[in-house]
Chain A
Amino acid sequence: MSTDAHHDKATASLAGAILEQTGVPVDKCYQCGKCSAGCPLAADMDYPPSLILRMLQAGGPELEEKVLRSYTIWVCLTCETCYSRCPMEIDIPVMMDYLRHESLRLGMTSPRAKDIIRFHRSFLDSIKYTGRLYEVGLVVDYKARSMHLLQDVKLAPKMYFKGKLNLIPETIKGLPLIRRIFSRSSKAGGEDAR
């Protein structure tokens, strides 16, 4: 029941915040469903992308919390299939990015998304410290965070002999600049994404 749920376009609605922060106009969606139809991960989501948009259009604390607690926003791969096909040119991936950020900020992350978030963090750490992906570091870091110690362990020797796993990390030249990006965006986001 959303008595006053639909009311707050003018006030601080999540859809309004998305428009303000990312420029993505949620109101433009006319529910054709093409994004959900083409999304490679729609089957794994709790709400398909078009439904997320409709929930944001309808608005209200209840639905907005459902969106922020959804598994969908974490399953989204940012493959941009939806965006490239959307007749209204709504940038759903950017919207999803913002929703993930908000979900983290408000501590509303979906319990099912724990590992995904751990992986995101390991990945970002690798970028932060080396300026690029350090595979071994990523794997070790992720396993430490997730405690999935034996997952995919059989793949390691194969990858090693194919030269896919460098034991010593490579760094890039502009590492201080990368660090600065991280510190700035964590300030802007209010909380460190780590």
Chain B
Amino acid sequence: MSRIGVFICHCGENIGATVDCEKVAAAAAKIPGVVHSVDYKYMCSDPGQNMIKEAIREKNLTGVVVGACSPRMHEPTFRRACEEAGLNPFLCEMANIREHCSWVHEKGDPTTEKAIDLVRVIVEKVRRNKPLVPIKVPVTKTALVLGGGIAGIQAALDIANAGHKVIMVERSPSIGGHMSQLSETFPTLDCSQCILTPRMVEVARHANITLHTYSEIESIEGFIGNFKVKIRKKARSIDMKACTGCGLCSQKCPTRKIPSEFDAGLGTRPAIYVPFPQAVPNKPVIDRLNCTYYLKGKCRLCEKVCPTQAIRFDQEDEIVEADIGAVVLATGFEIKHGDFFPEYGFGKFKDVIDGMQFERLASASGPTLGEIRRPSDGKKPETVVFIACAGSRDPAKGIEYCSKICCMYTAKHAMLYRHKVHGGNAYIFYMDIRAGGKMYEEFVRRAIEEDGVKYVRGRVSRVYEREGKLIVQGADTLLGAQPVEIEADMVVLATAAVANDGAEELAQKMHVSYDAHKFFAEAHPKLKPVETNTAGIFLAGACQAPKDIPESVAQASGAASKVGALFSQDELTREPVIAVVNRSAPPLYSTCVGCFLCQAACPYQAIEREEIRTRDGKLIKTVAKVNPGLCQGCGTCVAVCRTKAIDLQGFSNEQVFAEVMALLDRSEPDAGI
């Protein structure tokens, strides 16, 4: 016979003002099997918890029902209290008489009646609860960092420096990401590559980091602490061990006119190339889509000139498998390409470029060696117009958000231009100047006051060509929207920051949620900024939302510390709310008939096959078995099982039906349903 204790909480006025808690407690006391029933102002307080503990000890309770708030609030509190009093914590349940009752109904008898019903239902459930033991799962102390930009680099180094193994996977031939393309960084104007490349080298040399460049994730399965990942190492057509990185192949390659990705299309590269001089690893890759040999079957010049015979035309993609315990997603962002804005003439006029192209023009490693020369004729532009919010904050174009980084980089661009082209005119058309950040506002003021950058408040309506000049047509809204027309030699569009190509597929592969713009979603916008909804997968950098370098680095370190915390234990403890396939005495062994409908239905690949054999190894039957590490307790298998062989611990069919029956079996004669 069960001995159940019922504890009704007033939650101050939250429940007490609407529900007659005393009456609920009194009604609960009459339920068969309830041996103790009280109400109290704050059950979650120390005295409240002590009431539960004392009752468990004195009345030798076999189950506890707390009629209070949602179990999401205080279930851990009350279960811990029960555990401290010697009761298995899974014998304690909560009846939600606040969110499900007092908060959503008026004060009155029907509300109190409903609270009584809710308590009665849970009493019926608890009567059938079984003691459960939390599941322990081992943790593989290796982290996978996806993406080798500044966020990935920071996360990888932090995790590796904490003593854990890291596997870094980067899609392009070199790590470094967008930061390696930048000229100088706001607000200090220090050279981007100078501060980044030492970190890149550190990643390559770190004993705890395994680097896979030119690689992508093929598949990932498993769960927190126990993921299995398959990495596709794309064929580089180079023997990485034999190659010394001498660069002779790139020098001799006859196909030279391929637009360079690194120079944002402003420069060219050969078909066998190293993306940029400080690339890590500094070994070339053959671009098979453009290589003459792959296209026409002839050439192989690189093979002939290679002093170490490192060229491998027949190399194939390689799949590497690894066991990992946590993932940091740091796949970064992309900028929206300018053709998004036909009215600004991107693609039509050579001298209308985007922000990344300007970075390459201003960079000492860029196609002009850091001189500002316009793409069309290589002349120094005397007047440059920068257009902020080119795509951002534009619901009509589908991007309603602020890209956050453009105000600052545009100020920096105009400033760099004024430093490099003396007497040049720099105009910035803007809607607002968003310079929140340490030394950011000061930086913008410096651009205006010291470097003479002209800010004009207003969105540019269009850019067109007239007598060799780009005419920028805008208005100065601070002068009563007076029309402004500037004859420019070059126009730079601060295009919106958008999610990376393939972000959606990756998110689906990783079981991570993402927003309408395909940025990965954090678990809580304020309190869980680096976690995702999938345990063990963390976020860093601009794959979550547009971010500048300091923010990306901070988030990456945050993600790394979460990984470190996860790896600080050898085992993880999980709630035992999982599905179990029943086992019974011979000759049945299990009611499972081995149809494996459950296996197809399970979204977590948690159903395995188990062969039941006699002692001499003869197969009796094959039944389903649930992997407790993989099972998330969703219950889909329970619903599809034809023979009711599967049950969910803590939410068994018996328990749920008992709850429903308790509602139908109201003993009061006036209980019409």
Binding site for B on A (CB under 8 A): 1-7, 9-10, 25, 27-28, 30-31, 51, 54-55, 57-58, 63
Excluding A6-B425, A27-B452, 6 further A-B contacts by CB distance (< 8 Å) are A1-B483, A9-B454, A10-B423, A54-B476, A55-B479, A58-B484
Query: Once the chains bind, are A31 and B485 in contact (CB under 8 Å)?
Result: no
Is B196 an interface residue when CB atoms closer than 8 A count as contact? no
The 10 residue pairs across chains A and B that have the minimum distance between CB atoms: A54-B478, A9-B452, A3-B485, A31-B478, A6-B454, A27-B449, A7-B425, A1-B485, A28-B449, A54-B479
B476 near A4: Cβ-Cβ < 8 Å:
no
Picked from B449, B482, B486, the residue with its CB within 8 Å of the CB of A3 is B486
Within 8 Å CB of A63, what residues of B? 479
Complex contacts, B449 vs chain A, CB 8 Å = 25, 27-28
What number of B residues sit within 8 Å (CB to CB) of A?
Answer: 21
Specify which chain A residues have a CB less than 8 angstroms from the CB of B383 in the assembled complex. 7
> How distant is the Cα of A31 from the Cα of B456 in the complex, in angstroms?
11
Q: Chain A residues near B480: list those with CB within 8 A.
A: 51
Q: Does B487 contact A (CB under 8 A)?
A: yes
**Which of B423, B448, B476, B483 is within 8 Å of A27, CB to CB?**
B448
Identify which of residues 441-459 in chain B touch chain A, using a CB-to-CB cut-off of 8 Å: 445, 448-449, 452, 454, 456-457
Interfacial chain B residues near A3, Cβ < 8 Å: 485-487
User: In the bound complex, do residue B487 and residue A4 qualify as a contact, i.e. CB atoms below 8 Å apart?
Assistant: yes
Q: Which partner residue on chain A sits nearest B448 by CB separation?
A: A27
Q: Considering only CB atoms, which chain B residue lies closest to A7 in the complex?
A: B425
- 19 of the cross-chain contacts (CB-CB < 8 Å) are A2-B482, A2-B484, A3-B486, A3-B487, A5-B484, A6-B484, A9-B454, A10-B423, A10-B452, A27-B448, A27-B449, A28-B445, A28-B449, A30-B448, A31-B457, A51-B479, A54-B478, A58-B454, A58-B476
Q: For the complex, is B427 an interface residue (Cβ under 8 Å from A)?
A: yes
Chain A: CB-nearest residue to B423: A10
Complex: A7 Cα to B452 Cα, angstroms:
10
Q: Which residues of B contact A58 (CB under 8 A)?
A: 454, 456, 476, 479, 484
> Whole-angstrom distance between the alpha carbons of A3 and B427 in the complex?
12
Across the interface, do B479 and A6 meet the contact criterion of CB distance under 8 Å? no
Give the distance in Å from the alpha carbon of A9 to the alpha carbon of B426 in the complex.
Answer: 11
Nearest CB on A from B171, distance (A): 42
Report Cα–Cα, A10/B422, bound state, in Å: 10
What residues of chain B lie closer than 8 Å to A7, measured between beta carbons? 383, 425
Prevailing SS type, chain A contact patch: helix
Bound state CA distance, A144 and B528, in angstroms? 79
Docked CA distance A63–B487 (Å):
18
Least CB distance, B597 to chain A, in whole angstroms:
68
Bound Cα distance from A5 to B486, whole angstroms: 9
A57 to B484 CA separation, bound complex (whole angstroms): 13
List the B residue with the shortest CB-CB distance to A51.
B479
- Which residues of chain A are within 8 angstroms of B457 by Cβ–Cβ distance? 31
CB–CB B452/A6 < 8 A: no
The residues of B that contact A10 with a CB separation of less than 8 Å are 423, 452
Q: Are B478 and A6 in contact (CB under 8 A)?
A: no
| B484 / chain A contacts, CB cutoff of 8 Å | 1-2, 5-6, 58
B485 CB contact (under 8 Å) in A2, A51, A57: A2
Interface pair A6/B486, CB less than 8 Å apart = yes
Least CB distance from A29 to B in Å reads 9
When chains A and B are docked, how far (Å) is the Cα of A101 from the Cα of B476? 28
In the complex, which residues of chain A have a beta carbon less than 8 angstroms from the beta carbon of B454? 6, 9, 57-58
Digitize B476-497: 1 where CB-to-A-CB distance is under 8 Å, 0 elsewhere. 1011101111110000000000
Distance in angstroms from A159 CB to nearest chain B CB is: 44
Please name all residues of chain A whose beta carbon is closer than 8 Å to the beta carbon of B427 when the two chains form the complex.
6
For B487, the chain A residues whose CB sits under 8 A away are 3-4
Q: Which of B79-120 contact A (CB under 8 A)?
A: none
Chain A: minimal CB distance from B426 (Å): 10
Q: In the bound complex, what is the Cα–Cα distance between A9 and B445 (angstroms)?
A: 16
**Shortest Cβ gap from A13 to chain B (Å):** 11
Chain B nearest Cβ from A83, distance in angstroms: 18
Residues of A contacting B423 in the complex (Cβ-Cβ under 8 angstroms): 10
A144, chain B: closest CB distance, angstroms: 40
What is the CA–CA distance of A193 and B209 in the complex, to the nearest angstrom?
A: 79
Give the CA-CA distance A107 to B483 in the complex, in Å. Answer: 28
Which residues of chain A are within 8 angstroms of B485 by Cβ–Cβ distance?
1-3
Q: CA–CA, A9 to B457, complex, Å? A: 18
Q: Which residues of B contact A2 (CB under 8 A)?
A: 482, 484-485
Q: Which of B448, B456, B483 is within 8 Å of A6, CB to CB?
A: B456
Q: How far is the CA of A5 from the CA of B480 in the complex (A)?
A: 16
Docked CA distance A57–B457 (Å) = 12
CA A28 to CA B449, docked complex, whole Å: 6
Whole-angstrom distance between the alpha carbons of A7 and B118 in the complex?
75
- CA A3 to CA B487, docked complex, whole Å: 7
Closest chain-B Cβ to A123's Cβ sits at a distance in Å of: 34
Chain B residues closer than 8 Å to A31, beta-carbon distance: 457, 478
Considering the complex, which residues of chain B in the window 250-308 have a beta carbon less than 8 Å from any beta carbon of chain A? none
| Closest residue on chain A to residue B471 by CB atoms | A3
In the assembled complex, the CB of A168 is this many whole angstroms from the nearest CB of chain B, namely: 53
Alpha-carbon distance A54/B480, docked complex (angstroms): 10
CB distance from A121 to the nearest CB of B (A): 33
- Which residue on B lies nearest to A60, using beta carbons? B484
Q: In the complex, which residue of chain B has the Cβ closest to the Cβ of A10?
A: B423
* A28 / chain B contacts, CB cutoff of 8 Å: 445, 448-449
A22 to chain B, nearest CB (A): 16
Complex alpha-carbon distance, A51 and B476, angstroms: 11
Residues on the A chain within 8 Å of B479, using CB: 51, 54-55, 58, 63
A58 vs B486: C-alpha distance when bound (angstroms): 12
| B304-323 residues at the A interface, CB under 8 angstroms | none
Distance in Å: Cβ of B428 to nearest Cβ of chain A: 11
Closest chain B residue to A2 by CB distance?
Answer: B484
Give every chain A residue within 8 A of B483 (Cβ-Cβ): 1
Bound form: Cα–Cα A9–B482 in Å: 20
- The residue in chain A whose Cβ has the minimal distance to the Cβ of B476 is A58
In the complex, residue of chain B having the shortest beta-carbon distance to the beta carbon of A4: B487
Separation in Å of the B431 CB from the closest CB of chain A?
Answer: 13
Complex Cα distance, B448 from A2, in Å, reads 20
